[in-house]
Structure 1
Amino acid sequence: MAQREKGFGLSREIANKINAKYDADDEKTVVAWIASVIHYNGAVPSGKDAVHTWLRDGNILCSVINTLKPGTIRKVHKWDEFTATPSYEKNKEQENISFFLKAADDFGVQKTDLFQTVDLYEQQNMAQVLSTIYKLDSAAQKKGYSTGATIGVKIADKNVRNHDEAKLKEGRNVIGLQMGTNQTASQKGMTAYGLGRQLTPQ
């Protein structure tokens, strides 16, 4: 029996658009960066489903944060797969992800750049997960936390200019081009608005 896609109509259309944003090259870059940062010795995952499974319990993501800045996440949940109940395991996995998101926010990642827990846990938007990890590296570089490998664009420092009051007042004497100019075209010789065109007989 063929496996049916989840959702229908608009829901499926939105899901397809989100899935289309997932880039295999970004996946390879992010996975290689994570493996380098935490010195991962296991088999590196390949493919969206494999990466989802690798990151889903939040342990890898928490390890990344704690490698960039040791002690950021003090207690990462781990459990014995033979004794943990499914509901306990699900709760603790999601809690690990929330630890990572809180730490990423503290690092300086904008809230609008963070993925939601369901984006990773339920594999709703893996493209956003990869994007957040890029942004995390950018924010970490800005704060001076780095392990050598970088994938994110370094965020520029603010270039604050402090002008004195006299300099600021000088700017008020300049007429900006947005206010118009009297040096080019004019209405000289044009018929006034509302009057008929004046025709002179030849």
Structure 2
Amino acid sequence: MFQALNARTPRDPELEAQALDWIEANLGEPVSRTTPYDDLLRDGIILCKLMNKLMPGCIKKIDTKGSGFALMQNIERFQNAAKQWGLPINEVFQTVDLWEKKNIPQVTLCIHALARVAQTRPDYTGPVLGPKMAEKHERHFTEEQLAEAKNAVSLQYGTNKGANQSGINIGKSRSILD
């Protein structure tokens, strides 16, 4: 479900609503549901407020008015704070994805990824959104177990029962009939 999305990926209103619910719960205040999702987040103000709730003081200045450039800086501030908080760089959307509405599904993916990362942080006690990230599970083997494993034939190698080279045409062109 969570993968790199391109501009042709359809928007999912349910995922967008879940993202807004999670943002509201963290902010402790409602966000406008009458304003379209992409317009609501476009200036980056809500996203900056969210990061300041998750990581207090991480964004010193939030531009609430001004030119497009000033408001785009809010998006950049959010992106930098999210990466600093632990969001993998490949799950952070590009500024144009939101500002020019080029890839809104990627913005939604980023918010869901931020919620997943939140669950792994001991300082986070807010609401849960989406599945919990997997935890590291190390396995320790004895020398005897490692030595025994060297003698086993892995199933990745397949089997050679009944194997032959029929059907292999090296150097011979393949004939295709209509």
TM range (shorter): 0.7 to 0.9
Q: In structure 2, list runs of 5 or more residues that go unmatched.
A: 1-5, 165-178
Pair 1:111-2:89 in alignment: yes
* Maintained 8 Å contact 1:109/1:136: yes
Deviation at 1:185, TM superposition (A): 5.9
2:13 pairs, out of 21, 24, 27, with 24
Match in the other structure for 1:78? 63
The superposition leaves residues 113-140 of structure 1 with CA deviations (integer Å, 9 ceiling, x where unpaired) of 2210000011111111011100000011
Query: How much is the aligned-residue C-alpha RMSD, in angstroms?
Result: 2.5
* Maintained 8 Å contact 2:117/2:133: yes
Seq. identity, %: 32
2:69 pairs, out of 91, 107, 124, with 91
How many Å separate the matches in 2 of 1:67 and 1:186?
A: 63
Structure number with greater Rg is: 1
Distance 1:170-1:101 versus aligned 2 partners, 3 A rule: same
TM-score under structure 1 normalisation? 0.68
2:117 pairs, out of 120, 123, 139, with 139
Deviation at 1:105, TM superposition (A): 1.8
Q: What letter is aligned with 1:120?
A: L
Q: What letter is aligned with 1:77?
A: I
Distance 1:180-1:29 versus aligned 2 partners, 3 A rule: closer
2:139 pairs, out of 161, 165, 168, with 161
What count of residue pairs does the alignment treat as equivalent? 158
How many Å separate the matches in 1 of 2:108 and 2:46?
A: 13
